[in-house]
Structure 1
Amino acid sequence: MTVDVLTEIVIERPVAVVAEYAGDPSNAPRWYANIESVNWRTEPPVGVGSQLDFVAHFLGRRLAYTYDVVELVPGRRLVMRTAQGPFPMETSYEWVPAGTGSTRMTLRNRGEPTGFAGVAAPLMTAAMRRANNKDLTRLKELLEAQ
């Protein structure tokens, strides 16, 4: 079963500000509750071909995975993929203007879980949706407080 979770939020900050902050993987532990750490395998800044090691906790499990940046349109879109583990996943961010000085940010996670993760896909989808909504709310709070 495919997992495909799309969440979005309007942040009262310009696209350039939101994209610069959210599009820098080093900032992920500040706004993602479940991400413990991000370590660069390649030199920053982020670009197509960048590789980053993430450590996260999700549904009571510790997850360690490497993201490869596969698409980057500065100020518009970032796509990262991981292929290892029981849940190969693609994460994408998109930023578009949402009125004067505001940004609509879309966060999408999708993948094809295998094994037990495949059986638990409906549970994972619901948990991921809740976590993503909380994370985007945290991002909004951080950026709007600047």
Structure 2
Amino acid sequence: MKVDVLTEAVIAAPCDRVAAYAADPTHAPEWYANITSADWRTPPPVAVGSKVAFVARFLGRRLAYTYEITTYEPGRRVVMRTDEGPFPMETTYTWEPYGEGLDHTRMTLRNRGEPSGFASLAATVMAAAMRRAQHKDLAALKALLER
């Protein structure tokens, strides 16, 4: 079974500021509740081909995985795919100016993949947990950037 979870938030901050902060993997442990570390495997900054190793806790388990940046449109979109990890996963962030003066940002966060083995049996539970986590993560990002 495939997992495909899309969440969004409107953040009261300019698009370029939100995108620059969220696209930098070194900030991930600050706003992702489950991510405990992010370590560059290639030299920063973010670019197509960049690799970052993450360690996270999810559903009571420690997960270590490496993402490779496959698409990077500064201020608009970034797509990352697992290069190494427990199952194939793709994460996409998008940002667009929002609101009357376009001084807010609508950010989407999408995670999709196809767990295999034991993880495939828990795909429904995994998707629900991912949805809850993503809502919390975007709320944390919103709180950080609206200070």
Summarize deviations over 1:37-75 as a string: whole Å, max 9, x none. Answer: 000010000000000100000000000000000000000
Residue in structure 2 matched with residue 80 of structure 1 by the alignment: 80
Deviation at residue 87 of structure 1 after TM alignment? 2.0
**Which residue is equivalent to 2:27?**
27
CA distance in 1, matches of 2:34, 2:86: 18
Matched, 1:125 2:127: yes
Flag structure 2 segments of 5+ consecutive residues without an equivalent. Answer: none
Query: In the alignment, is the contact (CA less than 8 A) between 1:57 and 1:63 conserved in 2?
Result: yes
Give yes or no for the alignment of 1:57 onto 2:50.
no
Determine helix, strand or coil for the equivalent of 1:127: helix
Moved over 3 A (4+): 83-86
SS at match of 1:75: coil
1:32-43 aligned within 5 A: 32-43=32-43
State the Cα deviation string for residues 104-145 of structure 1 (Å, max 9, x = none).
000000000001110100000000000000000000000000
Separation in 1, partners of 2:84, 2:33: 22
The one-letter amino acid of 1:68's match is: E
CA RMSD of aligned residues (A): 0.7
When normalised by structure 1's length, the TM-score is 0.97
Aligned mate of 2:140, from 131, 138, 141: 138
Distance 1:54 1:70 in 2: 16
- The answer to whether the 8 A contact 2:11-2:146 is kept is yes
How many angstroms does 1:83 deviate by? 4.2
2:84 is paired with a residue of what secondary structure? coil
Q: Residue 17 of structure 1 aligns with which residue?
A: 17
Cα distance in 2 between the residues matched to 1:85 and 1:20: 26
Q: Is the 8 A contact 1:86 1:115 kept in 2?
A: no
1:107 & 1:40 partners in 2: Cα distance? 21
Aligned-partner Cα distance in 1 for 2:123–2:116 = 9
Q: For residues 79 and 86 of structure 2, what CA distance do their matches in structure 1 show?
A: 20
Please say if residues 63 and 86 of structure 2, whose CA atoms lie closer than 8 Å, have aligned partners that are also in contact: no
1:109 aligns with one of 98, 108, 111: 111
Percent of aligned positions that are identical: 66
Task: Give the alignment's TM-score, normalised by structure 2.
Answer: 0.97
- 1:97 aligns to what? 97
